[in-house]
Amino acid sequence: MISGVDENELLFNDKSRLYAWYNFSRYCDVFSLYCQAKIKSTYAKYRRKQNSRGITGAQVAREILDSHGMTHVPVYEVHGELSDHFDPSNNSVSLSSDIYHGTTIASCAVAKT
Q: How confident is the model at residue 9 (pLDDT cuts 50, 70, 90)?
A: low
- pTM of the predicted protein model: 0.68
pLDDT, residue 11, reads 53
DSSP string of 51-110, one letter each residue:
-TT---HHHHHHHHHHHTT-TT--EEEESSSS--EEETTTTEEEEEHHHHH--BHHHHHH
For 85-104, the pLDDT digits (tens) are: 999 999 999 999 999 999 99
For 12-60, the pLDDT digits (tens) are: 567 777 888 899 999 999 999 999 999 989 989 999 999 999 999 999 9
Distance of CA 99 to the CA centre of its chain: 15
pLDDT, residue 95, reads 94
pLDDT, residue 36, reads 93
